[in-house]
């Protein structure tokens, strides 16, 4: 019965973590380029009372063993990189990636980060930056006298001057990873390379294995409210059932104590 307490407690803790992950997903349902997470679990060690295949008689083997599990533990959280819906913003500097790839940004310390949030802006020097002010990599600078900007499917950034002269000022490049689920989240729609993700492969949009750029659109979150609410109800029910297991174990323990009085 005491084992039941600790086993059910691991179940309650696991479902609390599930609710935490779901709450984070729902909180970011309107975050550009956000990818939902799911939590994965593993069963804990087993108390093996007897092994399958043991001899129970002359020439007779037991077809099954007797083992009792000790609960569950979190194994990890996995980002689900299914595409989100594209929202038409009709804004020249908004870009969505159709297919694989991440925009590259340079942090103040020179390190690179990666994002699917294509809500680009211009800083005071005309550089293309993210909505939080981090510069794209490679850097792209828009001349001050530009009256219009066009970003093509292949990432080429073209501008038109006040005199009507058109020129290409740079190309937005993408990075992709062998295991994007291995990227580390840092907040601010930014992801960091890890050993699990592998090193980035950089190329232009439309190259083999890379997605295309859709100008005037933003990729929305891939969180599905109905799915998350169903998962939330399931986690809530599982939490409740585990709490009932603790209550049942407590009642059984009280009954056993009364027998020896």
Q: Which of 51, 56, 55, 53 has its CA nearest to residue 67?
A: 51
How far is it, in rounded angstroms, from Cα 221 to Cα 21?
15
pLDDT tens track for 172-212: 999 999 999 999 999 999 999 999 999 999 999 999 999 99
- Distance from CA of residue 36 to its chain's centroid? 5
CB atoms within 10 A of CB 16: 11
pLDDT at 67: 84
Q: Is 202 helix (H, G, I), strand (E, B) or coil?
A: strand
* SS (HEC) of 64-130: CCEEEECCEEEEEEEECCCCCCEEECCCCCEEEEECCCEEEEECCCCCEEEECCCECEECCCCEEEC
pLDDT at 251: 78
- The band of 260, judged by pLDDT with boundaries at 50, 70 and 90, is low
pLDDT tens track for 48-97: 888 887 877 777 887 887 888 889 999 999 999 999 999 999 999 999 99
pLDDT at 225: 96
pLDDT tens track for 201-253: 999 999 999 999 999 999 999 999 999 999 999 999 999 999 998 888 877 87
Predicted confidence (pLDDT) at residue 1 exceeds the cutoff of 70: no
Cβ–Cβ < 8 Å for 57, 95: no
**CB-count exposure of residue 245 (10 Å: 0-12, 13-18, 19+):** middle
pTM assigned to the model: 0.87
Residues in Cβ contact with 156 at an 8 Å cutoff, skipping those fewer than 6 apart: 168, 170, 171, 172
pLDDT at 159: 95
What ranges do the domains of the chain cover?
Answer: 2-78+223-259, 86-219
pLDDT tens track for 87-146: 999 999 999 999 999 999 999 999 999 999 999 999 999 999 999 999 999 999 999 888
Q: What is the sign of the dihedral through the CA atoms of 190, 196, 197 and 198?
A: positive
């Amino acid at each position: 019965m005491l084992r039941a307490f600790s086993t059910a407690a691991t179940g309650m803790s696991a479902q609390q973590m599930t609710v935490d992950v779901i709450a984070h997903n729902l909180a970011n349902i309107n975050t550009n380029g956000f990818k939902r997470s799911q939590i994965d679990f593993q069963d804990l060690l087993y108390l093996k009372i007897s092994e399958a295949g043991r001899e129970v008689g002359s020439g007779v083997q037991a077809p099954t063993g007797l083992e009792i599990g000790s609960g569950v533990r979190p194994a990890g959280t996995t980002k689900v990189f299914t595409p989100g819906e594209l929202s038409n913003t009709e804004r020249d500097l908004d870009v969505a990636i159709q297919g694989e790839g991440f925009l590259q940004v340079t942090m103040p310390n020179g390190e690179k980060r990666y994002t699917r949030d294509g809500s680009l802006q211009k800083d005071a020097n005309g550089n293309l930056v993210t909505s939080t002010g981090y510069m794209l990599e490679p850097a792209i600078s828009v001349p001050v006298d530009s009256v219009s900007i066009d970003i093509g499917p292949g990432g080429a950034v073209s501008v038109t001057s006040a005199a009507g002269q058109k020129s290409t000022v740079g190309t937005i490049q993408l990075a992709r990873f062998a295991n994007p689920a291995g990227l580390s989240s840092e907040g601010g729609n930014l992801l960091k390379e890890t050993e699990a993700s592998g090193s980035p492969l950089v190329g232009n949009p439309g190259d083999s294995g890379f997605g295309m750029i859709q100008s005037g659109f933003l990729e929305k979150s891939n969180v599905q409210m109905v799915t998350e609410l169903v998962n939330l109800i399931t986690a809530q029910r599982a939490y409740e059932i585990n709490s009932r297991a603790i209550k049942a174990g407590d009642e059984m323990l009280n009954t056993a104590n009364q027998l020896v009085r």
